[in-house]
Amino acid sequence: MFNKYKILTIAAVLFIAGFALQSCRRADESQEKDTRFEVTDSLLKSVIIDTVQEASALSQISLTGSIAPDETKMVKIFPLVSGVAQDVKVQLGDIVQKGQTLAVLKSAEMAAYTKDYISSEADISNTHRILASTQDMYKSGLASQKDLEQAQSDYQKALAEGKRAGAVISINKSNENGYEVRSPLPGFIVEKNLTSNTQVRADNSQNLFTIADLSTVYVMVNVYESDISKIQTGDPVKITTLSYPDKTFDGKIDRIDNMLDPDNKVMHARITIKNPGNLLKPGMFANVLIKAKSGENLPEISSNALVFDNDKNYAIVVDGRAKVHIQPVTVAKTVEDRAYISKGLKPGDCVVGSRQVYLYESLKE
């Protein structure tokens, strides 16, 4: 009897223990279910939501080029008189101001121009005095009408000669040292073909100096045949140089040639770029990145909204109120901070644009 009672007691204990264990397991499962990650309205309100747009996809074309001066702001200086260079005051690459003396020439022609100017001034003074005297004599009846007209004619001729001589002197600036070669604009000396004691002839086709204003410069690039259809005038570009690798210059294409270079089979294009501080110098090597339209319309989002995991791209798509899901996407191309999607998204879709990595890690578990 005692053994039977003992067996019943043990069975009751085991039943109670099993029931308790089952209850704990259900409690754990309930607790696990309750702590599972859920997206709430307040969470969605705290993140940025971007709408997928349809846009003309851009292509990035990388080219090389070189810095060149702006031809519209560059002048070549030729001598207007013959002579011998006595004092060359500037060197290649120097910055000069408008009116600054670049060199001085000893010139016999300049001496003759100075003599003509002084003589014309004397003739003006002399003929003016004779005209005044003739007018007084004409009023007194001591001079004829013909004498007065002749005096007036001589005075007018002297004035005309004086203007001519003065113009020659003003164009050919000179002082007691000789003929001064001056800069007609501010800029840089980008070419110099004159040294001291050089004999200069006015009929020589060789210019003495070339001065360029480098506040704006050109970047001359070669465009390969495969890229010609992708670029057009007005396309924005970004330019970097070896001299300033951390600095980016913005410009745009302002000219594309209509003929291929017969030797290199490339088409030349010209980019205009502002040059603050005159950092860019003619001859510098430049890397050019052109953003050109590809002619293809694709859904577009910020590349920062994508999550890259296991060699694939994902976006967190908002389905509705407090409903989101992970969407695999295929990126056709990325241009700067914009991603063009070929598969997985369509225009009008809403994607999470901030804290998307946190949502992705929480949702995929």
3-state helix, strand, coil in the chain (%, to 5): 35, 40, 25
Name the residue with higher pLDDT: 10 or 235. 235
Backbone angles phi, psi at 171, to 5 degrees: -75, -45
Q: Check residue 270 and give its pLDDT.
A: 92
Q: Does 8 fall in a domain?
A: no
| Residue 296: pLDDT over 80 | no
Q: Does 30 fall in a domain?
A: no
Q: What is the DSSP letter of 33?
A: H
| Residue 136: pLDDT over 60 | yes
CA dist., res. 159 & res. 166, Å (int): 10
Q: Does 1 fall in a domain?
A: no
Structural domains of the chain, count: 3
- pLDDT band (50, 70, 90) for residue 31: very low
Name the residue with higher pLDDT: 296 or 246. 246
pLDDT tens column, 66-76: 999 888 888 99
Domain that holds residue 148: 72-212
| Residue 10: pLDDT over 70 | no
Residue finishing a domain among 180, 212, 244: 212
- pLDDT band (50, 70, 90) for residue 202: confident
* DSSP string for residues in 302-322: EGGG-EEETTEEEEEEEEETT
**Parallel, antiparallel, or unpaired for β 249-260 and 266-274?**
antiparallel
| Residue 2: pLDDT over 60 | no
Residue finishing a domain among 295, 323, 344: 295
Q: Check residue 206 and give its pLDDT.
A: 86
CA angle at 97 for the pair 92 and 100, rounded to the nearest 5°: 85
Regarding whether 310 and 285 lie in a shared domain, the answer is: no
**Burial class for 34, CB neighbours closer than 10 Å (0-12, 13-18, 19+):** exposed
- pLDDT band (50, 70, 90) for residue 153: very high
Q: Does 28 fall in a domain?
A: no
CA-based radius of gyration for the chain: 43
Q: Does 149 fall in a domain?
A: yes
Q: Check residue 172 and give its pLDDT.
A: 61
Residue finishing a domain among 274, 295, 316: 295
CA angle at 112 for the pair 107 and 114, rounded to the nearest 5°: 95
| Residue 33: pLDDT over 80 | no
- pLDDT band (50, 70, 90) for residue 119: confident
- pLDDT band (50, 70, 90) for residue 300: confident
CATH number, domain of 243, equals 2.40.30.170
Average pLDDT in the chain: 80
Regarding whether 45 and 160 lie in a shared domain, the answer is: no
Tokens matching residue 299:
């859904």
* DSSP string for residues in 77-125: E--SS-EEEEEE---TT-EE-TT-EEEEEE-HHHHHHHHHHHHHHHHHH
CA angle at 23 for the pair 21 and 29, rounded to the nearest 5°: 105
Q: Does 25 fall in a domain?
A: no
pTM exceeds 0.85, yes or no: no
Regarding whether 138 and 82 lie in a shared domain, the answer is: yes
CA dist., res. 343 & res. 348, Å (int): 14
Regarding whether 79 and 51 lie in a shared domain, the answer is: no
Q: Does 12 fall in a domain?
A: no
Q: Check residue 116 and give its pLDDT.
A: 79
Rounded to an integer, the average pLDDT of 212-224 is 89
Q: Does 24 fall in a domain?
A: no
pLDDT tens column, 280-294: 888 899 998 887 666
Regarding whether 221 and 167 lie in a shared domain, the answer is: no
Regarding whether 256 and 229 lie in a shared domain, the answer is: yes
Regarding whether 176 and 136 lie in a shared domain, the answer is: yes
Q: Check residue 13 and give its pLDDT.
A: 47
| Residue 175: pLDDT over 70 | no
- pLDDT band (50, 70, 90) for residue 30: very low
